[in-house]
Amino acid sequence: MPISFIATIVIAEQSISSYYQSNLRDLSFTAKVLSSKAGELGKINQDFAKSYRFKASNVWLKEPMKLRMESRVEDTDIYFIVNGGIKLLRIPRAKINQRDDVSKAPGKRQTPLDFGLLTPSLFNGFLLSKFIRTESSGDLRGCPVFDLTYQPKLDDSSRYRVWVDPVKKFTRQREWYSQAGFLMATFVYDQPKEVNGVWIPGRATVKNADGKFAGATEYANVKVNTGLAESLFKVD
């Protein structure tokens, strides 16, 4: 086998673009909290812990970088939309309609990465990737490992380390590190299902920096590439 051909294979294996869900155009599902421990979630951070108050959320994702979430807490409906660098929080009952520019505040955005997916738009002016190794042992053996950092212009030194399934191309595990370099949480994505040619994890489990179970969420009623309307993601 020619050396140049081998080198091409190695380069491809070490490129994050080899593990994109490139045929994912849009996605919808219901995120259901299966169980959680408030004390352990609080050790990650309080804002993250508050997200587990939403026992079920309807989620819509569309490339590039569009997200809509609808949740209900007691008798109050909450709408959360991110479109590019604009975030909208709407709570009609409380007469809240808050629109923020988060284009330079990446930590305030939610993206496909939060749900165990890598898509091309994540690496178009938002994240940078660095190949670390191919895991050689344990449950994640054979998974390429990448460090993901924000573009320098975003001025945020927090980062992620991800283990990617090389065949099904979803994130098997993600570690979240603070701007000070401390491990914040570890997310494990499993129970993958193939929907319309795309592999989507069916469950996400999070542990805090102490390795203690903090919460588990199921992704149900998954639909892929149904042609979601742009109007779902309006932020004006």
Mean pLDDT by 10 residues, the chain (236 residues): 42 84 95 96 90 92 96 90 93 92 89 95 95 96 97 95 97 97 97 96 98 97 97 93
Number of domains in the chain: 1
Q: According to the model, what pLDDT value does residue 51 have?
A: 87
Domain of 15, in residue numbers:
3-233
CATH code of the domain covering residue 132: 2.50.20.10
Q: What per-residue confidence (pLDDT) applies to 217?
A: 97
- The per-residue DSSP string of 161-192 comes to EEEE-TTT-SEEEEEEE-TTS-EEEEEEEE--
Amino acid 41: pLDDT = 95
C-alpha to C-alpha distance for 207 and 209, rounded to whole angstroms: 7
Residues 32, 72: Cα–Cα separation, whole Å: 12
Name the helix (H) or strand (E) containing 198: strand 198-200
Give 133's strand partners: 145
Please state whether the peptide bond connecting residue 112 to the residue before it is cis, i.e. omega within 30 degrees of 0: no
Quick check: 217 and 227 in contact, CB under 8 A? no
What pLDDT does residue 12 have? 58
